[in-house]
Amino acid sequence: MSESPLIEPRLNPHLFGHAAALAAIQDLDARRRLAHGWMLTGAPGIGKATAAYHIARLLLAIGGGDVQDPAHPVFRMVAANAHPDLKVITRETAKSGRLRTEIVVDQIREVGASFRTTAAIARHRVLLIDAADELNTEAANALLKLLEEPPPDVVILLVVQRPGRLPRTLASRCAIMRLKPLDAPAMAEALATLLPGLNDEDLARLSLLAEGSPGRVLRLHATGWLADYQALLQIFGASSDSDRLFAFAEILQRRVQAHGLEQGLDPLTTLLRRAATLHATPDMPLLSPEEAPALSTLAARGLDPLLASWDSLRIQALRIEALNLDALQSFLLLADALLPPGRPLPQAG
């Protein structure tokens, strides 16, 4: 299986489905009506951070040429974290060597001090925070002061994954750019560019799952999601209970070890979610013929048992992570509770 091109937003020259948003920024900038603060919101994987870097390059443009071209000097400086008029804030590594769980106030104060000078080479100076909902309280308050009294020609771009976690006072100081999931033509263009070697059948399946999110397609492809999902579906029809319990648990254990809990359990959480959807929407499009019996079996249990299974999976995942439990044994117990009784083995003779 080839590795998917999971391109860092800072290095990504591609942006699909959001041309109107960039055009709006250019128009406001040309009319000198560009807000000092912008919140970029939307579903995961649709290109919020990538759009933020595209906007930053537009605002840092000098001279002619396409600043989204990797050969352009502005693109190259941004890619190398070397543009003097761009400051990027993300979670940092602490002295302990571990990645911090939040953005801290010193990071904001350091950038605020650097903005006391004028722009070095561009007309704008840009602060990009990814993700702004990871600011701790002190950092959010420091950023609020910067937004209340913004230095001249400074534009602050906030990539926001969970808007509800951002203080209202901070959000009220920003214009909001709500990026939407990609429509079918934009998704087709994105996947043709990002996964040119994938066959049409798998592209169609991934597109159906992605719900307008190219990032989700890339993550699914990179983790071998389709093959593992198909294996889970086949397990539902296996004849031996013991064999399929171990097969079920081993798939989850392998994925969790390779990709972490969230990505590792994604095929199973998707299976439960799609079964619940089928219960409410019987004409739901299927990913493959093998999906029909598995989803029908689960959906026949009713919505409450499906939700209980979902909660059980979530709680079990948290226990595995918090208590360092034996993942295989935990998944065996989960499989025993989730899988329907198997068909009896044929008798010899």
pLDDT of residue 62: 84
pLDDT of residue 4: 40
In this prediction, residues 168-195 reach a mean pLDDT of 94
Percent of the chain with pLDDT over 90: 58
pTM: 0.86
**Predicted confidence (pLDDT) at residue 338 exceeds the cutoff of 70:** yes
pLDDT tens profile 148-164: 999 889 999 999 999 99
Range name among 56-65, 214-223, 314-323 with the lowest pLDDT average = 314-323
Q: Please, is 296 exposed, middle or buried when counting C-beta atoms within 10 Å of its C-beta (0-12, 13-18, 19+)?
A: middle
Range name among 41-45, 119-123, 222-226, 244-248 with the lowest pLDDT average = 244-248
**Predicted confidence (pLDDT) at residue 44 exceeds the cutoff of 90:** yes
Q: How far apart are CA 22 and CA 11, in angstroms?
A: 17
| CATH classification (class only), 9-178 | alpha beta
Pinpoint the alpha helices (H) of 9-82.
19-30, 48-59, 73-79
pLDDT, the chain, mean = 88
pLDDT of residue 21: 96
**Sign, Cα dihedral of 194, 181, 164, 158:** positive
- Who wins on pLDDT, 312 or 270? 270
pLDDT category at 344 given cuts 50, 70, 90 is: very low
Range name among 54-63, 80-89, 251-260, 317-326 with the lowest pLDDT average = 317-326
Strand 154-159, strand 125-130: pairing: parallel
pLDDT of residue 347: 41
In this prediction, residues 218-245 reach a mean pLDDT of 84
Range name among 6-20, 210-224, 235-249, 281-295 with the lowest pLDDT average = 235-249
In this prediction, residues 138-153 reach a mean pLDDT of 94
pLDDT of residue 349: 38
pLDDT tens profile 51-64: 999 999 999 998 78
Residues present in the chain in total: 349
**Predicted confidence (pLDDT) at residue 204 exceeds the cutoff of 80:** yes
Which residues, at least 6 apart from 347, have a Cβ–Cβ distance to it below 8 Å? Answer: none
Which strands make up the sheet holding 86-89, listed edge to edge?
86-89, 125-130, 154-159, 37-41, 175-178
258 close to 266: Cβ distance less than 8 angstroms:
no
Beta bridge partners of 89: 129
Which residues, at least 6 apart from 310, have a Cβ–Cβ distance to it below 8 Å? Answer: 269, 272, 273, 276
Q: How far apart are CA 53 and CA 68, in angstroms?
A: 9
In this prediction, residues 218-237 reach a mean pLDDT of 90
SS3 at position 147: helix
